[in-house]
Amino acid sequence: MNNEWFFEKFALIADAPGAVDRMRELVLELATEGRIVSQLSSEGNGQTLLTEIRNNTQATDAEILLDRDLADAVRIPSSWSICALGEVAEIVRGVSFPGNVKTENPRDGYVACLRTASIQAEIDWQDLIYIPQTHVSRSDQWVLPNDIMISMANSYELVGKVAVVRSVPQKATFGAFLAAIRPILLDPYYLLYVLRSPRMQVAFRASSSQTTNIANISLGRMRPIPFPLPPLAEQKRIVAKVDELMGLCDELEVQQQERELRKSVLVRSSLSRFAESPTRENLGYLFHNSYDIPPSELRKSILTLAVQGKLVPQDPTDETAEELISRVTSEKARLVRSKEIKNEPPLDPITEGEVFSIPKNWVWCRAGAITRPISSGSTPEQHVFHPSEGIPYLKVYNIRNQNVDFRYKPQFISISHHREKMKRSTLFPGDVVMNIVGPPLGKVAIIPDSFPEWNCNQAISFFRPIFPDLAPWIYTFLKEGSFLRNIQLIGTAGQDNISVTKCKFIPIAIPPFLEQRRIVAKVNQLMALVDELERQQAASREKASNLLDAIVHEMTSGG
């Protein structure tokens, strides 16, 4: 494998998620299959080296150790040999000691002890513990240069992690959750790269026993794992080539990080410039051809623009917001007189600290001033629930991506219970709902018309405006979420809650009705663009990922 070919392949997949890590894995995979350097007859063969190793260790029948089922799946050149890991390396488990004897500071009679946290890309000699030297009962439990330390007990994702001891800065042992793998007539770095290869890592995890949180590798199941053995001279050439290609991977990763950093700076700059002057003309700062702003940031900026009155122009011929509120107030008074809704105590005036700047023809009002009495749901007894029939019953998890998603864990309650016991929390299409128990708080949605009536639990409050046509604006304003910064939360059992009373006091900026419609239409238009952008980004990532898979397949299949 030459460097130009490596770069050519990498250039095709550089934008794929995890491309650099996959290339590192690929280098190790090819290296341990004998496809990263050529084989030279002058260097001998693996069988000769294996015989020498067996003679050196005076093994009687080491072949018995090899797991033949696993060995049959390993591809190696004809000049290599396949053997058991336990034949070519001594594996020593670490020392056991009671937890109460360890200390984090050195003292007389104590010795440094490596632990699982010490096994990083390199051995971490800073994060050590110290134990009485008397617990080191065998001479082979001292850390030696060129030992490969392996995590023998860890989470499933981390068990089998390895690092080489390049030097020993102080006398040290290692704990029972570690083992030292010591090469026998092997290049220690070739051994390291084999142990780090994807095949070997999978074998380590597959051989482990799993408890609730910890996977444990036993020496008995570790020793028979197949090990690909080239002649020693080829091992050294493999190590040199792996080091070279890993260095290229490091360079490529730095270049990627620098590109991402530059992109991040451009994104922050664009968002900052937009925030300083959030006008329709400056939308170009957000929808830019040269870089992609994260869709979540785009949506946030669009909503901020909308609720501040900077998304569409004001029209002086519109009915004013004050006139709209006056009509709402009159209609609400009529509903109270006709006893269609209950009269409620007056709401406190809005203070300056609760609000932000809005256009002159807008007004601020409390949510409770423009809605019927705000309420929340309740939870009935279990026997009234049904998986597919009755009145649809919403829970917080049904409010997803600011919409009602009733495909996720749908539940229904009996019609009779809904009518007799839960009439107060009946929901109708067009109602605005919000979760008031978190985290996260403030997810909102509009009840769809897929059912004529709905109901909900107590973690959801709902807003039914006096004029139903106000619902899209209330939904848009609440979705923006800035009101949460000024609302007083109730904390119980580790959860934040917004009381129904606090919901009534939420300040809402009200534009003229016709402007509301223009804003909501513009928001929907821009959100559709963001949705399409997000789909394009996902398709681009999928394409890059598929290309990565194809190229990896080509490289690993010898194409």
**pLDDT tens digits, one per residue of 90-109:** 999 999 999 899 999 999 99
pLDDT for 142 equals 97
Specify whether 477 is located in the same domain as 336: yes
Provide the pLDDT for residue 122. Answer: 94
DSSP state of 181: E
The verdict on 352 and 225 lying in the same domain is: no
Task: Return the minimum-mean-pLDDT range out of 119-133, 244-258, 361-375.
Answer: 244-258
Chain-centroid distance, C-alpha 228? 36
User: pLDDT band at 264, cuts 50/70/90?
Assistant: low
Last residue of a domain, one of 511, 529, 544: 511
pLDDT for 497-506, tens place per residue?
Answer: 888 888 899 9
Query: By CB neighbour count within 10 A (0-12 exposed, 13-18 middle, 19+ buried), where does 276 fall?
Result: exposed
Q: Which of 203, 230, 257 is the last residue of a domain?
A: 230
Its domain, for residue 138, covers 45-230
Residue 84: closest CA among 179, 207, 171, 174 = 207
Residue 284 counted as domain residue: no
Residue indicated by tokens 């609302």: 487
Taking 3-state DSSP, the helix, strand and coil percentages for the chain, each rounded to the nearest 5, stand at 45, 15, 35
Tell me which residue of 451, 467, 462 sits closest to 415, measured CA to CA: 451
- Tell me, yes or no, whether 174 lies in a domain: yes
394: in domain: yes
- The answer to the question of residue 269 being in a domain is no
- Same domain for 381 and 492, yes or no, is yes
Domain stops at, among 170, 204, 230: 230
Is the CB of residue 36 less than 8 Å from the CB of residue 235?
no
Token pair of 73, please?
């799946």
Tokens of 548: 């990565």
Instruction: Provide the pLDDT confidence category of residue 559 given band limits of 50, 70 and 90.
Output: very low
- Asked if 211 and 331 sit in the same domain, the reply is no
Q: Residue written as tokens 């109901």?
A: 455
What is the model's pLDDT at position 555? 63
Provide the pLDDT for residue 67: 78
Q: Indicate if the pLDDT at residue 376 is higher than 70.
A: yes
Q: How confident is the model at residue 125 (pLDDT cuts 50, 70, 90)?
A: very high
Examine residue 399 and state whether it is found in any structural domain, yes or no.
yes
Q: Is residue 308 part of a domain?
A: no
Residue 481 and residue 340 in one domain? yes
Residues 218 and 357 reside in one and the same domain: no
* Cα 38 to Cα 48: distance, rounded to the nearest angstrom: 18
Do 218 and 336 lie in a common domain?
A: no
Q: pLDDT at position 60, please? A: 45
CATH code for position 142 = 3.90.220.20
Least confident stretch, 141-155, 292-306, 311-325, 354-368 = 292-306
Cα–Cα distances in angstroms (integers) from residue 447 to residues 306, 352, 417, in the given order = 22, 32, 20
What's the start-to-end Cα distance of the chain, in Å?
12
pLDDT band at 517 (very low <50, low <70, confident <90, very high): very high
61 pLDDT band (50/70/90 cuts)? very low
pLDDT classification of 11: cutoffs 50, 70, 90: low
Tell me whether residue 553 is in a domain: no
Q: What is the mean pLDDT of residues 363-381?
A: 91
- Whole-prediction pTM: 0.60
Contact of 353 with 486, CB cutoff 8 Å: yes
Domains identified in the chain, total number: 2
Q: Is residue 201, in this structure, part of any structural domain at all?
A: yes
The dihedral built from the CA positions of residue 264, 266, 268 and 270, taken in this order, carries a sign that is: negative
